[in-house]
Amino acid sequence: MAKIIQFPKEKMKTPPQSKKELDAELLNNKVAYVDDVANHYSSSVFNKLAMHGFNVDDEDFIKDYAYTIESLKSCLLRNVGVTHPIQNTVEKDVAKFCGIDVTSDYLTEEQEQKIEEMEEEDKLI
């Protein structure tokens, strides 16, 4: 019985035929690479957060985390010269918040009171 070699069913990939095709392929490769890197690290961090006791099944957490991952992708894409829609938001937010201490936005009234008391104690010393 003779061995039969099957003819490949998939079409062989031809090299880019123009500068436009080359640029498109390069862009697709950059985006695919960034997606792979971001997915790798996002799943690692997600698992670590779950192990540290954060409720990663919470719907709000998932929304916030998805936004975080898109931000990471945007950062990496900018680094390789590709634009991402979130980059416009980042520009505005950095201009708005850079150099401004926004931590007080996250403090409870009780925590703010303790900080004020500590500051008063420091003035007395």
Domain count, the chain: 1
Is residue 115 within 8 A of residue 107, CB to CB? The reply is yes
pLDDT tens by residue, 5-56: 887 777 767 787 888 888 889 999 999 999 999 999 999 999 999 999 999 9
* Residue 6 belongs to some domain of the structure: no
Average pLDDT, the chain: 85
Q: What is the pLDDT of residues 62-104, one digit of tens each?
A: 999 999 999 999 999 999 999 999 988 888 877 777 766 666 6
CA–CA dist 76, 30 (Å, integer): 10
- Say if 56 falls within a structural domain: yes
CA dihedral 56, 110, 100, 69 (to 10 degrees): 0
Q: What's the predicted TM-score (pTM) here? A: 0.66
- Asked whether residue 27 is domain-assigned, the answer is yes
Residue 124 belongs to some domain of the structure:
no
Query: Helix or strand or coil: residue 55?
Result: coil
Query: Angle, to 10 degrees, between the axis of helix 19-51 and the axis of helix 59-79?
Result: 140
Would 118 be classed as within a structural domain? no
8, part of any domain: no
Who's near 77: CB < 8 A, 6+ residues apart?
30, 31, 34, 83, 84
Select from 49, 55, 51, 53 the least CA-distant residue to 69: 49
pLDDT tier at 108, thresholds 50, 70, 90: confident
* Pairwise CA distance, residues 86 & 105, whole Å: 23
Q: Which domain holds residue 77?
A: 22-91
Quote the pLDDT of residue 18.
87
Within-domain flag for 61: yes
- Please give the residue that has the higher pLDDT: either 1 or 111: 111
In a domain, 26, yes or no: yes
